[in-house]
Amino acid sequence: MIKVVIIGAGNVAGHLYQSFKKTEQINVIQVFNRNIDKIDFTDRSTRKSSNFDEIEDAALYILAVKDEAIPEVANNLTSKNGLVVHTSGSVTLDSLSKFENHGVFYPLQSFSKNKPVDFSGIPICIEANSEKNLGLLKEVASFLSKKVFEVNSDQRKALHLSAVFVNNFSNHLFTIAADYCREHDLPFEILQPLIRETVSKIDSLPPFSAQTGPALRNDQKTIDEHLSMLDGDRKKIYELITHSIQNLHGKKL
Amino acid sequence: MIKVVIIGAGNVAGHLYQSFKKTEQINVIQVFNRNIDKIDFTDRSTRKSSNFDEIEDAALYILAVKDEAIPEVANNLTSKNGLVVHTSGSVTLDSLSKFENHGVFYPLQSFSKNKPVDFSGIPICIEANSEKNLGLLKEVASFLSKKVFEVNSDQRKALHLSAVFVNNFSNHLFTIAADYCREHDLPFEILQPLIRETVSKIDSLPPFSAQTGPALRNDQKTIDEHLSMLDGDRKKIYELITHSIQNLHGKKL
């Protein structure tokens, strides 16, 4: 069994722990967190610690902490023979270069505390400072997921940025629509089937080809009517995305 | 059986026809379209016509045509005793007021030509000029869908506008991300599980509460780095939506 130490007690740490426990090949021997009380997801077979000096020998140390905490944890972690990786989408591989063996183990997903996670469909993006270390990460990742991608630091940044568009920004559009519906005494559930279909469509069609709507049709009458119904940020967003759709699809206003 | 005539040969007309055929209570006796060759979805039990004078007597006439064609079709349709409805999200009920019995039958979904549709989960928004007509629409709609909503013309416009945000605009964000990934030699499929999770989350959580990301966290370092990686419309969209998230969640830049 591959011995793993997880550092951190947030959503990523918790979900990784639960998922590793289900494999036969990984043994999470220890979970470390500055505040030991926050480690609320381990069972008795796993030791907990809040003292950097107590961190045990393992083949793999996973720093599942916030981006801004990575340098501090790296500073406090005394030199390890095992492979030390972080789980961030936007922090470079080099940030862990003080360790002889270092890498990145980035699961591309938005984790919520109380929602169980099935890692098997979650892309895991790996990067390491040597072929040997990359091999170990590939092995560990493949115990969790069928979708393991070798991704360099630039690509990982591009992915993280793309994730902001598809996850954070889409969700904000959903929020605007939910608010707008509520203001008109309409339940948000009335929009949910359409949202599901929007996403289901791009399983079989590239999003460029799936585009529909007044902007694409150059339907200025509807666009003008919609703009007259909006103000503030909502109006600016409607104008800008309409403009962007028309630019991209070659139909200038 | 309730006799229905469908006017139009587009996606909505075709999908409505297929779904009505599966019910035992609705008989689509005729499909009308100016260009008869475009009616490619009917079976032998349904007559086809391209001549307004040939339109048969029915309890319900469904104008499943483009918004801009509704006035013309209404002009050409000689006065009918049956209920005449359109299927548009943005055209008022009044546009059919020349008919004694008129209404709206608006399925809130994005239909694609070759993708089969399960109407049972699709919200159908109905409106009519009398309780009796509303009753007929409610009956017909309930044969297709479990989600029938009485929605007035203003609410329907609000829904249509909301649909542009959740469907057209989200899809454009997906397109931007897909393009950006391709430019960095990353397959779009790597983002699909995240997109699915974004949508699955709002089944259990209002989108306002599901919001995450650098904008919400006020993580200016990541925001600045992302902006430095973008230009043109993409950069403007990143700036505006980030700003809008911060405005809405009360964390001004």
What CA–CA distance (Å, rounded) separates B246 from B149? Answer: 34
**B163 touching A (Cβ < 8 Å):** yes
What CA–CA distance (Å, rounded) separates A82 from A69? Answer: 20
Strand order in A83-86's β-sheet?
A: A47-49, A26-32, A2-7, A60-63, A83-86, A102-107, A124-128, A148-150
Give residue B253's pLDDT band: very low, low, confident or very high (50, 70, 90): very low
> What mean pLDDT comes out for the span B224-239?
98
Question: What is the interface pTM, i.e. ipTM, of the complex?
Answer: 0.91
What CA–CA distance (Å, rounded) separates A3 from A25? Answer: 9
> What mean pLDDT comes out for the span B227-249?
98
- Report the half-sphere exposure of B60 (CA within 13 A, side-chain side): 29
Helix (H) or strand (E) holding A60: strand A60-63
**B93 phi and psi angles, rounded to 5 deg:** -60, -40
**Has residue A113 got a pLDDT over 80?**
no
**Has residue A252 got a pLDDT over 50?**
no
Q: Considering only CB atoms, which chain B residues are within 8 Å of A208?
A: 175, 178-179
Q: Considering only CB atoms, which chain A residues are within 8 Å of B236?
A: 240, 244
Token pair belonging to A16: 């990784």
- Window 185-204 of A: residues touching B by CB (8 A cutoff) are 185-186, 188, 190-199, 201-204
User: Are B39 and B31 contacting, i.e. CB atoms less than 8 angstroms apart?
Assistant: yes
**A57 phi and psi angles, rounded to 5 deg:** -75, 135
Class of domain A2-151: alpha beta
Identify the residue among B150, B154, B197, B235 best suited for mutation to test binding to A, counting A beta carbons within 10 A and taking the highest.
B197
Nearest to A166 by CA among A218, A128, A123, A126: A123
In this complex, do B165 and A180 lie within 8 Å of one another by their Cβ atoms? yes
What CA–CA distance (Å, rounded) separates B57 from B47? Answer: 13
Question: In which region does residue A66 sit, left (phi positive, over 0), alpha (psi from -120 to 50) or beta (all else)?
Answer: beta
**Has residue B252 got a pLDDT over 70?**
no
List the single residue in B with minimal CA-CA distance to A242.
B169
Out of 1.10.1040.20, 1.10.20.140, 3.40.50.970, 1.10.1060.10, the CATH code matching A156-248 is 1.10.1040.20
* Residue pLDDT, tens place only, A212-234: 999 999 999 999 999 999 999 99
pLDDT computed for residue A116 by the predictor: 82
Give residue A251's pLDDT band: very low, low, confident or very high (50, 70, 90): low
DSSP secondary structure letter of residue A77:
S
Nearest to A106 by CA among A71, A62, A42: A62
Residue type, B128: A
Dihedral over Cα of A173, A178, A179, A184: its sign: positive
Give residue B251's pLDDT band: very low, low, confident or very high (50, 70, 90): low
Give residue A211's pLDDT band: very low, low, confident or very high (50, 70, 90): very high
Q: Are strands A26-32 and A83-86 parallel, antiparallel or unpaired?
A: unpaired
CB pairs under 8 A between A and B: 297
**Has residue B228 got a pLDDT over 90?**
yes
User: Are B61 and B2 contacting, i.e. CB atoms less than 8 angstroms apart?
Assistant: no
| Least Cα separation, residue A223 to chain B (angstroms) | 9
* Residue pLDDT, tens place only, A122-156: 999 999 999 999 999 999 999 999 999 999 999 99
| Coil, strand or helix at B127 | strand
In this complex, do B161 and A230 lie within 8 Å of one another by their Cβ atoms? yes
* Residue pLDDT, tens place only, B95-125: 999 999 999 999 999 887 777 888 999 999 9
Residue ranges of alpha helices (H) inside A49-191 are: 70-76, 131-144, 153-163, 170-183
* Greater model confidence, B78 or A20: A20
> What mean pLDDT comes out for the span B228-253?
91
Give residue B75's pLDDT band: very low, low, confident or very high (50, 70, 90): very high
Diameter of chain A measured on Cα atoms = 68
pLDDT computed for residue A253 by the predictor: 44
**B176 touching A (Cβ < 8 Å):** yes
**A24 phi and psi angles, rounded to 5 deg:** -95, -10
Tell me if A2-151 shares its fold with A156-248: no
**A124 touching B (Cβ < 8 Å):** no
Q: Considering only CB atoms, which chain A residues are within 8 Å of B247?
A: 233
What CA–CA distance (Å, rounded) separates B128 from B215? Answer: 44
Q: So where are chain B's domains? A: 2-151, 156-248
Diameter of chain B measured on Cα atoms = 68
Give how far Cα B125 sits from Cα of A34, B33, B85, Å.
54, 24, 12
